[in-house]
Amino acid sequence: MPAPATLPPLTPGWCHAPTRLIDPRSLGARPLSPPIFPHDTRAGLLERLSLDPPDDSHAPDLSPLGPEDPDTSSPPDAPLDNLPAASTPAPPPFVALVEALTAPALLALARRGACGFVLRAEPDRHTLVLARALGLPLALTALPLGTLPSPLRLGGLDPWPGPQLDLRLPASAARVLPLAMLPAAPPAPPWIELISAQPEERHLAARAIRRGRAAGVGLLRLEFVFFDDPGVEPEALCEHLRRLMEALAPAPVAVRLADWSADKPPAAPTPIQAWEGRRGLAGLMEGKGEAAVALQIAAIERAALDARHPEVWIVAPHVESPASLAQLRGHLRGPVRLGAMLETPEGCEAVDGLRPLVDGLWLGLGDLGHRIKYPEQLQQLVDRVGARSATAPLLVCGWPPSTPQPA
Cα-Cα-Cα-Cα dihedral of 348, 350, 353, 356, to 10°?
A: -10
pLDDT score of 270 more than 90: yes
Q: What is the pLDDT of residue 311?
A: 97
Rounded CA-CA distance 168/382 in Å is 8
Integer angstrom CA distances of residue 38 from 35, 78, 93, 336: 10, 19, 10, 34
pLDDT winner (highest mean) among 81-85, 238-242, 371-375, 391-395 = 238-242
Average pLDDT, the chain: 79
Mean pLDDT of the region 105-117: 83
pLDDT score of 136 more than 70: yes
3-class SS at 51? coil
Class of domain 6-154: alpha beta
Rounded CA-CA distance 119/140 in Å is 5
Burial pattern 21-40, b for ≥16 Cβ within 10 A else e, equals ebebeebeeebeeebbbbbb
Q: Which residues contact 354 (CB under 8 A, 6 or more apart)?
A: 319, 322, 325, 340, 342, 347, 361
Q: What is the pLDDT of residue 56?
A: 31
189-207: per-residue pLDDT in tens? Answer: 999 998 888 777 788 889 8
Mean pLDDT of the region 312-334: 95
Mean pLDDT of the region 274-299: 95
Rounded CA-CA distance 161/113 in Å is 25
19-76: per-residue pLDDT in tens? Answer: 999 887 776 544 433 334 443 344 444 333 332 333 333 322 223 322 223 333 333 3
3-class SS at 119? strand
Q: What is the pLDDT of residue 4?
A: 65
Please, are residues 124 and 102 in contact by the beta-carbon 8 Å criterion? yes
Predicted TM-score (pTM) of this structure: 0.75
Question: Is residue 90 very low, low, confident or very high in pLDDT (cuts 50, 70, 90)?
Answer: low
3-class SS at 87? coil
Please, are residues 63 and 47 in contact by the beta-carbon 8 Å criterion? yes
Rounded CA-CA distance 397/380 in Å is 17
Q: Comparing 6-154 with 174-397, is the CATH topology the same?
A: no
Q: Where along the chain do its domains lie?
A: 6-154, 174-397
| Assigned fold of 174-397 | TIM Barrel (3.20.20)
Q: What is the pLDDT of residue 303?
A: 97
pLDDT score of 289 more than 70: yes
